[in-house]
Chain A
Amino acid sequence: MISGARQGSPAGLRRLFAAAMARDLRAFVVPGAEVARARGLDVEAAGLGMTGVPRHASVLLVVGELPAALRRAAAVVYAQMMRPRAVLAAGAGDLSPLPGADVSVGLSQEELEEGVARLRTAFARGAFAPGAAGFEPEMLRARTEYACPMHPEVVQDEPGACPKCGMELVSREAADGGSGPHHGGDHGGANGDHGHGGHGHGGMGFMSMVEMTKDLPRSSDGLPMEWVEAPFGPLFPGLPGGLFLKLTLDGDTVAEASPSACGWASPGPLTGPADALAERLAGIDPLSPASYRVLALRAVEDAAGAGADERTARARAGALERERAASHLGWLSGFAYLIGHRWLARRAAELQLAVLRAEPAGMPGLRAAARSLARRIERTPLLARRLEGIGALPGGTGASGPVARAAGVRTDARCGEGAYRALGFEPVVREGGDALARLRVRLAEIEESLGLAAAAGSLDIPAPRTATGASGAGAATVETPRGTATLRVALSDGEVVSAELEGPSARHLALVGRVAEQRELADALVGVASLDLSPWETAR
């Protein structure tokens, strides 16, 4: 039996349907497809269909450990999935409030495939069961509150009379986070106001539209409209998982955008033995673990006064460039999914997985594949028109990485590094500052990075134990796939006593409003996605 079985005895027609369901499993991936790919998992190759619609999914695939906020979001998605449903956990630890995983596997393709096979068996046998358990965690229950229809500010948990007008309070379900229609400044929703209109003004017979619309927010074309808040995250299929994005919609235009990220708990991974700092920091961002590993190693070496030799620096550059190419390809796949280019989404994912698994000797071949992909993208009809002018940001907005380089700003932490100078590195800079320019910068960087990784000749990250017993302060900067990350550490006797980490996504998160607001919904989402945010690398 699976945890989300349907009530009923598994016989007759049900057995037939269960067999069909076992063959046709569709997974909703938490936190997102991009994390699964970055961890080297090819979900579709493992035989699971993928869907971004909870109602159409039968399997909740959890990849890696989730912070509490994302576990709650996953529980909401799971509750909204149709039975029979199951949880497949790949390398996930604690899942609560989700029910325990029906099948638990490690983070490797072989284990995933074996887990899918087990899940199929479980589905075929246990999709229907006589004693199916309910899923009713406390967080999903609606809280009832009582509000005055006349005074929207009067809301209380108990029934009673309004202290202002004495009217009986009306029960309603409490909103979680206040989504729904609202009129500009005041809240309380259309329902209360309108419900009242029928009683209070009934005698007047006719209400002036001017009177009724005077408090409504004005749209850009001067019409008074109601705005609606809708969540587009944390588990929205077109955006990186973990990005909490709430959009206030004026029709299909984004009036306001308020983003936040799941992030890592501060100071969490920063404190502890300095020699293991690299290990801990690599765990914060599943999308670019190598960058943070190198960042930590360099900062600790700087603090301990032990510089890395040339060979080590070169190998690290190779690892960083391999990760950059893989990360950009992963972004490209997600971005292609968002804009509905299905062939590109699949091809970029294949290349990303190949890059993640490749040895140095395989890099030139992948580079040729990346070049032909880039050429094909340049020739794709309608793509430039789709992206031109979307998410435009001029230079000097505090951005770094590809976002800044796409706006003609020559900023790259790699320029000052000896290992990169030796490899003949030259930063990729494009003009335009819009989603199209960012796409072009990343495409060029994929090719360049694969070339650099091939030239570096080694892709592993040597981690000499330099910090044992060391004291001092140091800092390091690494150009991650998303921009410049800086880490300042102070060591005392081999322990990190204080540390300060600054990643690029925190700065880019502040730009979301500028690329999204007053844009059509699809254009706003393209703008946000083109920033390539990693919700993981900001501190909560």
Chain B
Amino acid sequence: MSALAVLAALLAGAYLVAVLEGWSATGRLRPAGPAVSAAALLGRESVVPRRPDRVLFEAAPLLLLVSAVLAAAVLPLSPRLVVADLATGALFVNAALAYVMVALLMAGWGPDAAYAMVAGWRFLGQLLGYSMPIVMAIAAIAMRAESLRNTEVVASQAALPNALYQPVGFAVFFLAAMCLAFLPPFDLPTAPGELAGGVEAEYAGARLAVMRLGRMVLVVALSAAVTVFYLGGWLGPALPPWAWSAIKTLAVAAAMLLAGRYVPRLREAQVLAWWWKLGIPLALLNIFWVGVVLLVAE
């Protein structure tokens, strides 16, 4: 029963994030926009490009959606509201989201089209940048919680949320999450001006609808991950636990979506150089900082 409630919340969250995304893209807030767009997409044709790698082309949208849903499934909305509270939940989030890259790689290679292929390999490069900092930040979370179980990660923040306890890790994780969800300014694989749609360029109709849905669920999953890992999840006064989780998740999603409206897209070479020369040392420093604080505190 709680699993169904979580899934319903996930769908509602994806819808609200789609409304927010429309706002960040056009500057207009249209509550019915995503529903109309989705129906419009379903009513349109969807072709497969000539001589594609059909398996990869068809699998990509499904894999994107499934991996995002699985990542969201291990993140708790409240102590009881979670689909599967795995003992290695924090690691599982990361494992599921690694397949986002695989999905985009398939979408890039599958259609045998120039823009998509550049975009697909670009995203693999982006992964080389954000992937290490993200796992290192999660390791620092696990150090404090003494567990990889997401409900225990939240419980460990009762005194002080991790965003304040390890601000460097928070910043690193937040930016890496934006990279992972390929949100502007890290939207290198879809880059509307540079690659005319990139990995999405050959998808249309129902396939595009599934891909967009996967992207929205991905943003929700990552916002929920930021909430669980750094903002104390359901912890908060007065309101019921699930409401706190929902509010925090939506606030994080809004921040992620709006940040990209006011800055230009980054260059790939810079993204990689910054993550490796600055991001990874900072993430290691964060682990060291948490280690020392934990030793001193005990």
Contacts and interface: CB of A to CB of B under 8 A. Distances in A.
Interface of A: 6, 14, 16-18, 20-21, 23-24, 44, 49, 51-53, 55-56, 58, 82-84, 127, 228, 230, 236-238, 249, 251-252, 336-343, 346, 380-383, 385-386, 520-523, 525
Contacts, number: 142
B192 A55 contact: no
Smallest CB-CB A-B distances: 3 pairs: A17-B43, A340-B265, A20-B39
Contacts of B208: 55-56
Interface string B162-189: 0000000000000000000000110100
Contacts of A55: 197, 201-204, 208
B36 interface: yes
A237 B265 CA distance: 16
B263 to A, nearest CB: 5
Contact of A228 (B24, B114, B270): B114
B263 A383 contact: yes
Contacts of A49: 26
B297 to A, nearest CB: 36
Contacts of A236: 196
Interface stretch (B89-97, B115-123, B146-154): B115-123
Contact of A20 (B43, B46, B118, B191): B43
Contact of B192 (A230, A237, A383): A237
Contacts of B26: 44, 49
Nearest to B200: A53
A20 B40 contact: yes
Contacts of A521: 118, 194-195
Contact of A16 (B39, B122, B185): B39
Interface in B252-278: 260-270
A386 B203 contact: no
B27 interface: yes
Given A6-B45, A82-B205, A83-B45, A346 B193 contact: no
Contact of A337 (B192, B195, B263, B267): B192
Contacts of B46: 82
B204 A340 contact: no
30 contacts: A16-B39, A17-B39, A17-B40, A20-B43, A23-B36, A24-B33, A52-B197, A53-B197, A55-B197, A55-B201, A56-B204, A84-B43, A230-B115, A237-B196, A251-B121, A252-B268, A338-B194, A340-B185, A341-B262, A342-B24, A342-B184, A380-B264, A381-B263, A382-B263, A385-B270, A386-B265, A520-B267, A520-B269, A521-B194, A522-B191
Contact of A23 (B40, B197, B205): B40
B178 to A, nearest CB: 13
A386 B268 contact: no
A338 B191 CA distance: 8
Contacts of B266: 382, 386
A252 B264 contact: no
Interface in B1-16: none
A83 B46 CA distance: 9
Nearest to A228: B114
Nearest to A49: B26
B47 A339 contact: no
Given A55-B208, A56-B197, A237-B193, 17 more contacts: A6-B45, A20-B35, A20-B36, A20-B43, A21-B43, A23-B36, A24-B36, A52-B193, A53-B200, A82-B45, A82-B205, A83-B44, A340-B192, A380-B263, A382-B266, A386-B266, A525-B194
Contact of A342 (B25, B42, B205): B25
Contacts of B200: 53, 56
A222 to B, nearest CB: 19
Given A20-B43, A82-B45, A339 B264 contact: yes
B36 A343 contact: no
Nearest to A19: B39
B47 to A, nearest CB: 7
B230 to A, nearest CB: 23
Nearest to B195: A521
Nearest to B42: A17
Given A20-B40, A82-B45, A252-B118, A53 B270 contact: no
Interface in B282-296: none
B268 A522 contact: yes
Nearest to B201: A53
Contacts of A338: 193-194
A288 to B, nearest CB: 22
A522 B39 contact: no
A230 B150 CA distance: 47
Contacts of A342: 24-25, 184, 260-261
B37 interface: yes
A251 B268 CA distance: 13
Contacts of B35: 20
Most chain B CB neighbours (cut-off 10 Å) among A340, A341, A342, A382? A340
Contacts of B42: 17
Nearest to A390: B267
B283 to A, nearest CB: 21
A277 to B, nearest CB: 37
Given A340-B191, A522-B268, A249 B118 contact: yes
Contacts of A339: 193, 264-265
B185 A382 contact: yes
